[in-house]
């Protein structure tokens, strides 16, 4: 192929969804406080019901007490390697997106020394010293940013095969006295990215990333429990939900639009929109706003697959799990065929936003 170029394609996918199912009813006995330390003056049935109406979450998954982030990341990675049928020793990079490391059930402290990527490489039994393993703490968009970095490595000629993992155990760092604890879950997803020569654009077509720190850096942060009588000084994930929502519904659609146009496409050319599974209401509004930016009034049915109602928000793992389920035909009424274009988009702590347009090979 005289005019061929190098492109980055996904050749294998994998996931680990924990087996422990935690339903909304599990939170009926929690004592919930607001950010000022005042206990909510309403029954938990009302709090839980309102939560479900907004987020659509019915249940979420937690890891068992013995597992940590590097364990579930390893499970997803092995699944992706098996799916791609590559030799694991041929991997040039292992990029692991996470934010809290291996938090043990018995010791709720952030731990990622050595890196989670190094731990997963060890668990995979990879001997090749030139398989470079590193971590990417980038908020919820971390896995997608890992794909973007992999694309840079491949297009520069530095790499041919890269493993990108997103793994998180948010259940370990969520405040039991904060209503937002019902959002969070655990899980891991992974993909193998490989270089391919093609005379037509395929795989990763475009991507855009932005970080809005000046006014939004601390919309997600770590802080003490909302319960003023909490027994120790553990810190938990905290969120300014209203401001984050307002930021996301404005910023993510614009980044996605810019990314689609950067690929030389129109929204009509996009088969699926894969959004970070943070909050169902927020995702629907972001999708609607994306169509408004393109001046399209009618949104096609089944353009945006959702998993949050059964899996919850497991941060960096939502997108790779969603893609793995989609590509393996496990999402009803959703599939991708050769030549289809789709867009990934995510938003999270930082505040970081990214989007990527991909064409199926």
pLDDT band at 337 (very low <50, low <70, confident <90, very high): very high
Share of the chain above pLDDT 90, in %: 95
Which letter does DSSP use for residue 130 in this model? Answer: T
Domains and CATH numbers, the chain: 5-198 (3.40.47.10), 203-359 (3.40.47.10)
Distances in whole angstroms, Cα of residue 102 to Cα of each of 20, 105, 110, 166: 18, 10, 7, 13
- Of 245, 248, 296, 306, the C-alpha closest to 270 is 296
φ and ψ at residue 47, rounded to 5 degrees: -60, -45
pLDDT digits (tens, 9 = 90+) for 193-226: 999 999 999 999 999 999 999 999 999 999 999 9
pLDDT at 1: 45
Strand 270-275 to 161-169 pairing: unpaired
- Of 158, 164, 157, the C-alpha closest to 197 is 157
Q: Please, what is the average pLDDT of the chain?
A: 96
CA distance 341 to 205: 9
pLDDT band at 2 (very low <50, low <70, confident <90, very high): low
Q: Is 109 helix (H, G, I), strand (E, B) or coil?
A: coil
pLDDT at 283: 97
Cis amide linkage into residue 317, ω under 30° from 0: no
* Residue 184 near residue 314 (C-beta atoms within 8 A): yes
- Tell me, rounded to whole angstroms, the distance of Cα 134 from its chain centroid: 18
What pTM value is reported for the model?
A: 0.95
pLDDT band at 18 (very low <50, low <70, confident <90, very high): very high
- Of 26, 41, 336, the C-alpha closest to 171 is 26
- Tell me, rounded to whole angstroms, the distance of Cα 259 from its chain centroid: 18
- Give the tokens for residue 204: 């990763």
pLDDT over threshold 60, residue 174: yes
């Amino acid at each position: 192929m005289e005019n061929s170029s190098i492109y980055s394609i996904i050749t294998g996918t994998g996931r680990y969804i924990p087996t422990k199912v935690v339903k909304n009813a599990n939170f009926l006995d929690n004592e919930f406080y607001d950010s000022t330390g005042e206990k909510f003056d309403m029954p938990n049935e009302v709090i839980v019901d309102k939560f479900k109406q907004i987020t659509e979450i019915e249940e979420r998954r937690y890891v068992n007490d013995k597992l940590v982030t590097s364990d579930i990341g390893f499970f997803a990675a092995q699944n992706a390697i098996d799916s791609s049928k590559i030799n694991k020793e041929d991997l040039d990079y292992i990029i692991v997106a996470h934010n809290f490391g291996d938090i043990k059930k018995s010791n709720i402290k952030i731990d990622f020394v050595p890196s989670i990527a190094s731990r997963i490489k060890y668990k995979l039994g990879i001997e090749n010293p030139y398989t470079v393993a590193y971590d990417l703490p980038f908020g919820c968009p971390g896995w997608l940013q890992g794909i973007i970095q992999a694309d840079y490595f491949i297009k520069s000629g530095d790499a041919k095969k890269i493993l990108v993992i997103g793994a998180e155990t948010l259940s370990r760092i969520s405040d039991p006295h904060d209503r937002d604890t019902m959002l969070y879950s655990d899980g891991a997803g992974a993909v193998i990215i490989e270089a391919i020569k093609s005379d037509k654009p395929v795989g990763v077509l475009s991507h855009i990333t932005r970080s809005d720190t000046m006014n939004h850096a601390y919309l997600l942060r770590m802080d003490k429990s909302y319960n003023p009588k909490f027994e120790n000084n553990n810190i938990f994930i905290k969120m300014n939900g209203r401001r984050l929502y307002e930021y996301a519904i404005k910023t993510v659609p614009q980044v996605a639009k810019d990314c689609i146009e950067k690929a030389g496409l129109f929204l009509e050319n996009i088969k699926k929109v894969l959004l970070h599974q943070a909050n169902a209401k927020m995702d629907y509004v972001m999708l609607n706003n994306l169509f408004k930016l393109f001046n399209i009034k009618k949104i096609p049915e089944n353009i945006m697959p959702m998993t949050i109602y059964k899996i919850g928000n497991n941060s960096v793992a939502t997108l790779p799990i969603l893609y793995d389920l989609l590509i393996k035909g496990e999402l009803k009424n959703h599939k991708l065929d050769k030549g289809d274009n789709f867009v990934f988009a995510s938003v999270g702590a930082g505040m970081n936003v990214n989007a990527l347009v991909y064409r199926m090979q």
